[in-house]
Structure 1
Amino acid sequence: MKQKNFLVTIAIVLATLIIGCADDDFQETVGVCPMVIATNPADLATNVPLNQVITVTFNEEMNPSTINSTSFIVTGASTIGGTITYSGVTATFTPTGNLTTNTTYVVRITTAVKDPQGNALQEDYLFSFSTGATLQPLVIATSPTPNETGVVLNKIVSATFNMPMDPATITTTTFTLKQGANTITGVVTYSNNTAFFTPNANLTANTVYTATVTSGAYNMAGVGLANDYVWNFTTGTIVAPKVILTDPENNETGVSVDKVVTATFDMPMDPLTITDLTFTLKQGTTPITGAVSYSGNTASFTPANPLLANTTFTATITTGAKNVAGVSIANNYVWNFTTINSSGGPDLGSASPFGAFGGNAGITNQGINTVINGSIATTAASTLVTGFHDATAIYTETPLNVGNVTGAIFTAPPMPGTATSFAIAQQALADANAAYLSISPASMPGGIDPGAGELGGLTLAPGVYKSDSGTFNISNGNLTLDAQGDPNAVWVFQTAAGLTVGIAGPTGAKSVILINGALPKNVFWYVGSSATINGAGGGTMVGTIIANSGVSISTAGNAVQTVLNGRALSLISSVTMVNTTINVPQ
């Protein structure tokens, strides 16, 4: 009997539900009425933010017109106002203002809420939540600090908070800067708990400014500062930066053609203002290309190419160069300098008349067409000069080794060498050694290596050139020396080890070509070891070669004539040549 009564009761309940939710053609389970399935905040949630937006989600699509202030009610100490919206299956209540701290709120969704078929909630749905205590944001640090003086004129003003803030509330309305009643325009940004005010222009010197962060700046919970945060600071006196040192100095002469031009300031500068627009170098009105850098109060201009010799250049630091406070130099700083006097070649002294000098080891000719238009000498005995004759004597010539010296031959005894000719040779060697030292890297520093040791195929302006690897080659083509119209233009080539001109083979000879007024007498080769000139024969070499350990020109068996417009001076070892013409420069 009890089982029968229970089944009857269940049937009555189901019938009631079916009748109450009839004709519902939406996607809910058949026979189930509308209901609330989720809320935010959840029921009994605590420490809810004060700017909380309240949402209610249903199990099916609802009739929006039934969701309003009479069916979606939020009460705390009293009913609070807000805006109600509906989308999808969710109703949203946005309070008119922030909620109150430490308050329990009750949300009621009444049975007036219905689905589009008119099916209503079966009973009012209630849930509650509580807000927490107020966690008030504070400004805990500023830059400049309150009442700071001597503030730089390009200062970015900042305020740091004790917690994350709502970036949307950090604006030019809530973070302001004023000078008296005048508002300073600028840009406000926010990052990592810090707000930044960047003025659109430099501040004024010796002036008091007032910065304010208003109570409209909120944290992520919607809580604002308790009060406006206000502080003052004073800018400093304008101190314009100055150029206190330059290299080269103003009106300096004899400057290396590979000089890096520098200017040193009396205070730290803003590196962003030290550029190729504010640091320039010109030759007359022609700009010199180069790279500008800044380090440790010093700006540097590195020319892209060697400067012209015997030329005056003008360097300028413009008023666009500013210190770290944003203050420019008072006026453009301009200075001049002149590069090395290219007529300053070495003094060969008594070595000047000699087309070949064989140190203390002699001079050898192999060939019947060798001509020395000048003199030759060695401090060795006359027997170590072979294959030559001058107007007064023959030095071990054979029918296959004939060399005509148009000047004179100077050696140590025996005859035809004499004590007098030996003394002349000794003095010439001393003068050649002095000239060698005068064009060394120690005496002429700063030489550059434009072809990484390979001079073939290059066209070079006057200047000092030093091989980084220790050897110079002319093998990829001829070397051209361009005097650019200056008959006094000088070239000095420095190699710690060898100099090799030409390559093997019948077409391997390479030449040095002079253009635009360049002269053989102004070309010098400092060779730390030995020099080999066109070993395959042929070609035209130019300049005075001063080698520590010997010079060889062409090789045995070559009939084609090899020309040296210059000198082959060896300090220790011998000079050898085959069918060679040497024209001593005048």
Structure 2
Amino acid sequence: MKTKKLLSTFAILFIALISGCATDDFNEVVGVCPVVSSTAPTNGAFGVPLNQIVLVNFNEEMNPETINLSSIIITAGDVVIPGTVSYSGLTATFTPTNRLTTNTLYTGRVTTSVKDVAGNALQTDYIWTFTTGLNPLVVSTDPANAAIDVSPNKIITATFNMSMNPATLNTSTFTVKQGTTVIAGTISYTGTMVSFTPTTPLDENKMYTCTITKGAENTIGTELASDYVWIFTTGLRPIVISTDPANNATGVALNKVIRATFNMPMNPLTLSATTFTVKQGATTILGAISYSGSTVSFTPSTPLLGDKTYTVTITSGAQNSAGIPMTNNYVWNFTTVIPVIVTPPPVATSNLFFGVFGGNAGITNQGLFTVVNGNIGTTAAATLVTGFKEVLTGDVYTVTPLNEGLVMKEIFAAAPAPGNATKAATALAGLNAARDAYISISPASMPGGLDPGAGELGGLTLAPGIYKSASGTFDITNGDLTLDAQGNPNAIFVFQCASALTVGDSAPSNVKLIGGALAKNVYWYVGSAAVINYAGGGVMSGNIIANSGVTLSSPANSTNASVTTLNGRAISLVSSVTMVNTVINVPN
């Protein structure tokens, strides 16, 4: 009974298989309906390459005679695509006669005329679609089309709208020409950008033509729709056309501002301490760089040294306003003037008898820490000398419990006592000597002074010489002033200011002596008044000869030990000298 049922089941299945396939001219013994198992491109595929060969895979071996252009059809809209069909294994192949068209929807159809080897036909037409990809486009170039003033060192780039096949970007598909001359270079590709690096810099002021041909393809083999062509023109390179000082110049002033003029406007950001250097031997000279028009200027922070050769270099990092650099470094030399030996003023040292002189107005001290290691004097009456005690004689000049300074030598003033006629005569002789000294260090007697810091001497280191304030005032408020005698103990420093001298501001400043410099050889010509470290403290150096008064420290420091030191002299021709807790060391 069970055997009968099993045979019946097999019979039903066999009949179903035969009746499920379309009728044909063959007598099928055992068969199944053929079906399309897969295609390439797949249904709905996008971005299909233009050189795509269409594949149709079946689930069983097919009758090759039924695989042809009538049973496998590819269309674009209503247009049938010409091609050839072949069959091998389980796969039918459609090879288009021509490349496919970009961004086009194609329809593939396998008709029911295809049959398997048993004669069973495809039950219904198999239909699928696919779309070809876009042509790649060049979306930007650098340089841009028609660009001018392009740097001869330019790396030429083009950016696409999609990823490209690097193998198709080479010297055949990316060319750069100047006229008919092909420019040698190397090509690289990253991201969506192709770069052409010329083997040697491009020529100046020339037009170049760049071409990327249709041979350039994207990653799926889609090429440019047409050759992409653009042009650009290189600019002229900047050159230095003149310098001041000129190359190999001699006798150059020590306060010289060094300048170079270019043949075109430059990019100021590329003119810096890196691209513009001044050296004396191996020593780099510090200075400030400025730019105006087509001229760059270098102002040394301190005067140059005498009789020295300096080398100036402007590197190829300097660029014009279009970004084009100089071809090579520009180097020139010059030699500074042999310095005139500043001889001591004829009467400035030998006849200066006083360490402090208060003109015809007297001398005042406040505080208990003032010490003058020398003589002081005034042509005024002794009553105008206040706050002092003479150590040698014990004479007192109006001292108080809070105001008593010491004079280690003598005090000279007119009567009343302890002043007298003899002392007054000595004071007058001292005043006349001071006037002679004042004239001897004046700009009229010693011309040619430099103003190295535009009136501000703080933070500078100066060599021996004559220095004159252009504005009439000298300040030492931005740090200390250092005077370097460069090993010469007889070196002279003369500072001339037609108006005021101010040393120190909210904090004290110092005048330092190095290289063998001596306080006795430093002179300060002051047309009006000198104020020295009004905030208290600090060390001043040199012989101050002022027309209208000298002030050292301030009353605010009278009750503390913030001592202000002067290694030199404080001489006023007319007005008084005021000291607050001041130590004055008079040079020999």
CA distance in 1, matches of 2:158, 2:238: 31
Paired AA for residue 568 in structure 2:
G
Q: Secondary structure at the match of 1:376?
A: strand
CA distance in 2, matches of 1:172, 1:403: 93
* Pairing 1:119-158 to 2, within 5 Å after superposition: 125-128=126-129, 154=152, 156=154
Asked if 1:518 corresponds to 2:494, the answer is no
Q: Is the contact made by 1:376 and 1:409 (CA closer than 8 Å) also made in structure 2?
A: yes
Q: Is the contact made by 2:360 and 2:378 (CA closer than 8 Å) also made in structure 1?
A: no
TM-score (norm 1): 0.57
Paired AA for residue 240 in structure 2:
K
Paired AA for residue 106 in structure 2:
Y
1:185 Cα deviation after fit: 1.6
Paired AA for residue 575 in structure 1:
T
Match of 1:445 among 454, 457, 468: 454
Name 1:42's counterpart in structure 2: 44
Deviates most, 318-327 or 340-349: 340-349
Asked if 1:222 corresponds to 2:222, the answer is yes
Q: 1:361 and 1:239, CA in 2 relative to 1: closer, same or farther beyond 3 A?
A: same
Q: Secondary structure at the match of 1:255?
A: coil
1:248 Cα deviation after fit: 9.9
CA distance in 2, matches of 1:102, 1:581: 97
Asked if 1:100 corresponds to 2:96, the answer is no
Paired AA for residue 314 in structure 1:
Y
Name 1:403's counterpart in structure 2: 407
Q: 1:41 and 1:313, CA in 2 relative to 1: closer, same or farther beyond 3 A?
A: farther
Name 2:77's counterpart in structure 1: none
Paired AA for residue 264 in structure 1:
T
Asked if 1:315 corresponds to 2:324, the answer is no
Q: Is the contact made by 1:411 and 1:421 (CA closer than 8 Å) also made in structure 2?
A: no
Name 2:173's counterpart in structure 1: 174
Match of 1:79 among 70, 80, 83: 83
Paired AA for residue 77 in structure 1:
I
Name 1:7's counterpart in structure 2: none
1:216 Cα deviation after fit: 2.3
Match of 1:583 among 578, 581, 586: 586
Q: Is the contact made by 1:520 and 1:543 (CA closer than 8 Å) also made in structure 2?
A: yes
Q: 1:582 and 1:334, CA in 2 relative to 1: closer, same or farther beyond 3 A?
A: closer
Q: Is the contact made by 2:152 and 2:234 (CA closer than 8 Å) also made in structure 1?
A: no
State the superposition RMSD in angstroms.
7.0
Aligned sequence identity (%): 31
Q: Secondary structure at the match of 1:383?
A: helix
Q: Secondary structure at the match of 2:520?
A: helix
CA distance in 2, matches of 1:63, 1:345: 117
The C-alpha deviation readout for 1:273-306, integer Å capped at 9, x for no partner, is: 8676764322235444779787754445577x75
Q: Is the contact made by 2:451 and 2:468 (CA closer than 8 Å) also made in structure 1?
A: no
Match of 1:566 among 543, 563, 568: 568
Q: 1:285 and 1:137, CA in 2 relative to 1: closer, same or farther beyond 3 A?
A: closer
CA distance in 1, matches of 2:578, 2:359: 8
Unmatched runs of 5 consecutive residues or more in structure 2: 1-11, 22-34, 75-79, 115-120
CA distance in 2, matches of 1:513, 1:430: 27
The C-alpha deviation readout for 1:127-162, integer Å capped at 9, x for no partner, is: 135779x9896999996978x9x977717486989x
CA distance in 1, matches of 2:192, 2:285: 48
Q: Is the contact made by 1:53 and 1:92 (CA closer than 8 Å) also made in structure 2?
A: no
Paired AA for residue 79 in structure 1:
G
1:318 Cα deviation after fit: 5.9
Q: 1:402 and 1:242, CA in 2 relative to 1: closer, same or farther beyond 3 A?
A: closer
Paired AA for residue 317 in structure 1:
T
* Pairing 1:312-351 to 2, within 5 Å after superposition: 312-317=308-313, 320=316, 324=320, 328=327, 332-337=331-336, 343=342
1:99 Cα deviation after fit: 0.7
Q: Is the contact made by 2:522 and 2:542 (CA closer than 8 Å) also made in structure 1?
A: yes
1:519 Cα deviation after fit: 0.8
TM-score (norm 2): 0.57
CA distance in 1, matches of 2:357, 2:517: 25
* Pairing 1:75-474 to 2, within 5 Å after superposition: 75=74, 76-79=80-83, 98-100=99-101, 105-108=106-109, 125-128=126-129, 154=152, 156=154, 164=161, 167-168=164-165, 171-178=170-177, 183-188=182-187, 197-204=196-203, 211-217=210-216, 222-226=222-226, 229=229, 241-246=239-244, 250-251=249-250, 253-256=252-255, 261-268=258-265, 279-288=276-285, 297-299=294-296, 306=302, 309-310=305-306, 312-317=308-313, 320=316, 324=320, 328=327, 332-337=331-336, 343=342, 352-358=352-358, 361-364=361-364, 372-373=373-374, 376-377=377-378, 380-386=380-386, 387=388, 396=397, 403=407, 405=409, 416=421, 425=431, 428=434, 445=454, 447=456, 449-450=458-459, 462=463, 471=477
Name 2:31's counterpart in structure 1: none
Asked if 1:550 corresponds to 2:559, the answer is no
1:215 Cα deviation after fit: 3.1
Q: 1:441 and 1:481, CA in 2 relative to 1: closer, same or farther beyond 3 A?
A: closer
Paired AA for residue 267 in structure 1:
M
Q: Is the contact made by 1:412 and 1:419 (CA closer than 8 Å) also made in structure 2?
A: no
Paired AA for residue 331 in structure 2:
N
CA distance in 1, matches of 2:399, 2:205: 96
Deviates most, 465-474 or 395-404: 465-474
Deviates most, 180-189 or 555-564: 555-564
Q: 1:331 and 1:190, CA in 2 relative to 1: closer, same or farther beyond 3 A?
A: same
Deviates most, 391-400 or 209-218: 391-400
Number of equivalences: 508
Q: Is the contact made by 1:260 and 1:301 (CA closer than 8 Å) also made in structure 2?
A: yes
Deviates most, 380-389 or 91-100: 91-100
